[in-house]
Amino acid sequence: MKLHVTRRGLLLTYVTLFFIYLEGPLAVIVLSSFNSGQIVRFPPEGFSLKWYGALMDLVRNAPDMKPELLNAVYTSLWLGVASTIGAVIAGTLGAYALQRAKIPGTNILRQLFLLPLLFPQIVTGIGLVLWFSAVGGVPTWMRLLLGHLIISLPCVVVTVTASLETLDRSLEDAAMNLGANRVKTFLFITLPSIQGGVLAGAIFAWLTSFSNFTVTYFLFSGEMNPFPLWLYQYIEYYIDPGAAALATCVLLITLSVLLMINRLQALGRVVAVSK
Amino acid sequence: MKPPSQESTQAGKKPVLELKDISKAFGQMNAVERVSLEVWPGEFVSLLGPSGCGKTTTLRMIAGFIAPTEGRIILGGNDITNVPAYRRDVGLLFQSYALFPHMTVRGNVGFGPKMRGEKSGAVAEKVRWALSLVKLEGFEDRRPNELSGGQQQRVAIARVLASGASMLLLDEAFSNLDAKLRGRMQEEVRELQLRLGIATVLVTHDQEEALAMSDRIVIMNGGKVEQIGTPKQVYSSPESLFVADFMGRCNRIEGQLTHDGAKGWFLDCGPAGMIRFEAPPHPEARPGEHCRVFMRPEHLTLSQRTGDHGQGLRGEVERLVYLGSRSVAYVILDGGIPFQVHLPNTPGSKDEFPINGVVAVVPQPGAVTLLPD
Ligand SMILES: Nc1ncnc2c1ncn2[C@@H]1O[C@H](COP(=O)(O)OP(=O)(O)OP(=O)(O)O)[C@@H](O)[C@H]1O
Ligand SMILES: [Mg+2]
C-alpha cells in the first residue's frame, strides 16, 4: 500500500514537471500580459488588465491597425482552411497509395514525403522563392497556398499512415468479397476506419499552417500578410506587454479551435451511435 | 486419386466449382501445386492439412484475392480465373469474422445486397431473412463490439448469406471459439448448409472438424493434394502414410508375412509376436514378403492372456490415462515399439491392467490395414 502511494506520487510529480516544462513558455507570456509595468517582463510587477485595454485602443484608434489586423486574421484563416483541405485529400490518398503500392522503394518514398517536416523550413522557403521567381507570374495567394501545402501535407501523411498500419486488412477483403469495388471499399470501409488519423492530420495541418512563420516569411506580400507575420511586425514596433496580451488572445483562439474539434468529435460519436 | 463416391448420384449435374490444376508460387516457393477439385451442388468439402500446406492460399484464389500462377477456376460453368474478387459471388467467412466495426449488425448484413445495387426495401428484406436464419432477430442495432464471439460469427454468416453467394468459403471459421461453442456452431452451420443446399468449402487443420462436417475431405500436404475422399475413406483407407498419420493416431509396425496352411496368414513382427490376418492382406500377397501395417488405437483391445500364438502383440503397460469416456493405455511392445490402445469405459469396467503388467494387444477383426508405400 505504501509502495503504491509513493509510486503514484512519483508519477504525479513527473507528469507535473513535464507539463510545467512543456507549457511554461506559454504561461510566461500569459502571465506577463497582466503586467502593470511598462515593459514585457517576468515575473510581472503586479496585476492589471490595462494592456488589454491599450490593445483595444490601439486597434480602435490607430488608423492602419484595424484593417491590417483583420486582413491578417482573414488571410491566415483562408490559407489554413485551404491548405488543410488540400493536405487532407492529397495526404490521405498519398499515404494510402504508399502503403498499398507493391513497388520496391516505398519506404524511401515515405521518408521523402516527410522531408519538409524534418528539414529546416528556411531551406524550403528559399527554395520556393527561387522557384517562384524562376517560373514568374505566380500570384501571392497561390505562392502562400503551395508553400503551406508543402509543410502541412506531411502532417496528414504521418497520422494517416499510422492509422492505416493498424487497419485490419481483412475488413477490406470482406467488403470486396461482398461486392464492393475498390473505390466503394475505400469510401465505405477504409475511410471510416482511419477517420481518427485523418482528423488528427487535419488539425495538425491547420495548426501548422496557421502558426507558420518561416516559410510564410519568404512568400507573403503587403496585401496578404498572414497573422504570425503581422504579429512579428507589431512586436518590432511596440515592445510592450500589449504584445503579450495579443499572443494570449491568439492562444485562446487556438485553444478554442482544439476544444471545438474535440467537442465535434464527441458529438460525431454520439450522432453515429444514435443513428 | 479415386473418383468421389457421389459421382453416380451427381450424374447429369454440373459442379458448382471446378479447380483445374491450379498452382500458386510466391517467388521460388510453391505454396499450391496443381490442385484439382470439383465441388458439387449442396456438397460440403473440407480442405484439411497441416499448417502451411496451402489451404488458405487455395481458398483465397477461389475468392479472388490471389491470382493463380497456373490453372483455371470455373464457377457455375464460367471461367472466373481473371474476374475480380468483387464480381465473384462466393461468400468468404473470415476466421476473425471481419465485421465492420463502424456499422451496426443491420449495416453489416445489408452491406452485400447494398453493394450489389439492390433497393433499400429489398436490402431490408434480405437482412431480416438472413438474421432469422442465424436466429439473431432483435440484434439489428447492436454494434459488433456489443456481441459475443458466437453472435459475431452468426452475424458474419448472415452477412455472407444475405449477399446471395452461390457458394460458401470458410477459413478456419471455428478456431476462435471455445471447445463447447465450437461444437455447437459446427452443428448449426452444417445444419444451415444442408437446409439451404449451398455448396461449401471449409479450410481447417482440425481433422475431427473435417470428419464431423464434411461430405468429402481433401487432404493437402506441401501444396499438393494427397487424397480426396469421404471421411470414412480417408480415415480407414488412407492412400499414403501421410494421410494415415494425419487423420488420427496410428500404431505402426512392420514384419515378415508368413502363411501357415490351415491357420492362414500371419505377420511376424519379431520379439513382439505375430498378428493374424482374417484374409490375405492383399491380392498378390506371398510368404516372406516384408509388410508395413497400421492399426487405430480404438480398433485394438488389451488381453492378459499372452501365451497364444498369433493372439496379438506382447508388451508392457507403461501408463494409463483416464479421459472420461475412455482410457488410453500406453503400451511398449517387446522390441520397444510404442502402441496406444483405447479402452472404452463402461459402467462395469474396472482397472484390470496394472502399470508394468504384461499384456497382449489384440487387433479387432479388420483392424490391421496395410500401409501404402
Ligand atoms: N503472401 C505470401 N507471400 C509469400 N509466401 C506466402 C504468402 N502467403 C502464404 N505464403 C506461404 O505459402 C504457404 C502456404 O500458406 P497458406 O496460408 O496457404 O497455409 P495454410 O495451409 O493456410 O496454413 P495455416 O493452417 O497455418 O493457416 C506457406 O508456406 C506460407 O508461408
Ligand atoms: Mg490458413
pLDDT (tens digit, 9 = 90+) per residue, A221-261?
A: 777 888 888 888 887 877 677 778 888 888 888 888 778 87
pTM: 0.80
Beta carbons of B65 and A173 less than 8 Å apart? yes
Query: Cβ of B106 under 8 Å from any chain A Cβ?
Result: no
DSSP state, residue A186: I
The reply to whether ligand 1 has any atom less than 6 angstroms from the CB of B363 is no
Where does residue B239 rank: exposed (0-12), middle (13-18), buried (19+ CB within 10 A)?
middle
CB atoms within 10 A of CB B344: 10
User: Helices marked H in chain B — which ranges?
Assistant: 55-63, 105-115, 120-133, 149-162, 179-196, 207-213, 231-236, 241-246
- C-alpha B171 – ligand 2 centre gap (Å): 7
Looking at residue A186, its pLDDT comes to 95
Residue of chain A whose Cα is closest to the Cα of B142 = A273
Say how far residue A19 (Cα) sits from the centre of its chain: 20
Query: Cβ of A175 under 8 Å from any chain B Cβ?
Result: yes
* pLDDT per position as a tens digit, A140-194: 899 999 999 999 999 899 999 989 988 999 999 999 999 999 999 999 999 999 9
Ordered per-residue pLDDT tens for chain B, 373 residues: 334 444 445 556 789 999 999 999 998 999 999 999 999 999 999 999 999 999 999 999 999 999 999 999 999 999 999 999 999 989 999 989 999 999 999 999 999 999 999 999 999 999 999 999 999 999 999 999 999 988 999 999 999 999 989 999 999 988 888 888 899 999 999 999 999 999 999 999 998 999 999 999 999 999 999 999 999 999 988 888 899 889 888 898 988 888 877 777 888 888 888 888 777 777 777 888 888 888 899 999 888 876 665 578 889 999 999 888 888 999 999 888 999 999 988 887 676 788 888 888 988 888 888 876 6
Q: Which of B46, B55, B96, B218 to mutate to test the pocket of ligand 1 (most atoms within 8 A of CB)?
A: B55
Residue ranges covered by each domain of chain A: 67-237
* Residue A28 confidence (pLDDT) above 90: no
Look at ligand 1, atom 24, and give the residue with the nearest C-alpha: B51
The reply to whether ligand 1 has any atom less than 6 angstroms from the CB of B31 is yes
Q: Which residues in chain B are closer than 8 Å to A184, comparing Cβ atoms?
A: 115
Task: Choose among B85, B96, B101: nearest Cβ to A177.
Answer: B85
Residue of chain A whose Cα is closest to the Cα of B111 = A178
**ipTM exceeds 0.85, yes or no:** no
Looking at residue B257, its pLDDT comes to 87
Beta carbons of B84 and A175 less than 8 Å apart? no
* pLDDT per position as a tens digit, A35-67: 877 777 777 777 888 888 887 887 777 777 777
Residue B248, phi-psi category: left (phi > 0), alpha (psi -120 to 50), beta (remainder): left
Q: Which residues in chain A are closer than 8 Å to B115, comparing Cβ atoms?
A: 175, 178-180, 184
Name the residue among B75, B58, B76, B55 with its Cα closest to residue B67: B58
Looking at residue B6, its pLDDT comes to 47
**Range in A6-10, A196-200, A269-273, B310-314 the model is least confident about:** A269-273
Looking at residue B123, its pLDDT comes to 94
Report the residue of B100, B108, B116, B163 to disrupt the A interface, i.e. the one with the largest count of A CBs within 10 Å: B100
Burial readout B178-205 (b: 16 or more C-beta within 10 A, e: otherwise): eeeebeebbebbbebbeeeebbbbbbbb
Residue of chain A whose Cα is closest to the Cα of B63 = A177
Task: Choose among B91, B92, B98: nearest Cβ to A171.
Answer: B98
Closest ligand to the CA of B60: 1
**For the CA of B58, the nearest atom of ligand 1:** 18
Half-sphere exposure at residue B78, Cβ-oriented, CA atoms within 13 angstroms: 8
Which domains are assigned to chain B?
Answer: 4-246 (3.40.50.300), 251-370 (2.40.50.140)
Looking at residue A117, its pLDDT comes to 78
Q: Which residues in chain A are closer than 8 Å to B160, comparing Cβ atoms?
A: 178
- C-alpha A230 – ligand 1 centre gap (Å): 61
Look at ligand 1, atom 6, and give the residue with the nearest C-alpha: B26
Q: Which of B30, B48, B53, B204 to mutate to test the pocket of ligand 1 (most atoms within 8 A of CB)?
A: B53
**For the CA of B57, the nearest atom of ligand 1:** 18
Name the phi and psi angles at B26, rounded to 5.
-100, 100
Half-sphere exposure at residue B174, Cβ-oriented, CA atoms within 13 angstroms: 24
Beta carbons of B102 and A193 less than 8 Å apart? yes
Residue of chain B whose Cα is closest to the Cα of A172 = B98
Q: Which residues in chain A are closer than 8 Å to B64, comparing Cβ atoms?
A: 176
Say how far residue A128 (Cα) sits from the centre of its chain: 20
Rounded to whole angstroms, how far apart are CA atoms B234 and B226? 10
- C-alpha B56 – ligand 1 centre gap (Å): 7
Looking at residue A192, its pLDDT comes to 93
Say how far residue B19 (Cα) sits from the centre of its chain: 19
Look at ligand 1, atom 3, and give the residue with the nearest C-alpha: B26
Of A32 and B9, the one with more pLDDT: A32
Report which secondary-structure segment, H or E, holds A155.
helix A140-166
- C-alpha A141 – ligand 1 centre gap (Å): 54
The reply to whether ligand 1 has any atom less than 6 angstroms from the CB of B24 is no
User: Helices marked H in B216-369 — which ranges?
Assistant: 231-236, 241-246
Write the class of the CATH domain A67-237: mainly alpha
Looking at residue B38, its pLDDT comes to 95
- C-alpha B38 – ligand 1 centre gap (Å): 22
DSSP B9-34: TTTT---SEEEEEEEEEETTEEEEEE
Contact B214, B202 (CB under 8 A): yes
Beta carbons of A179 and B86 less than 8 Å apart? yes
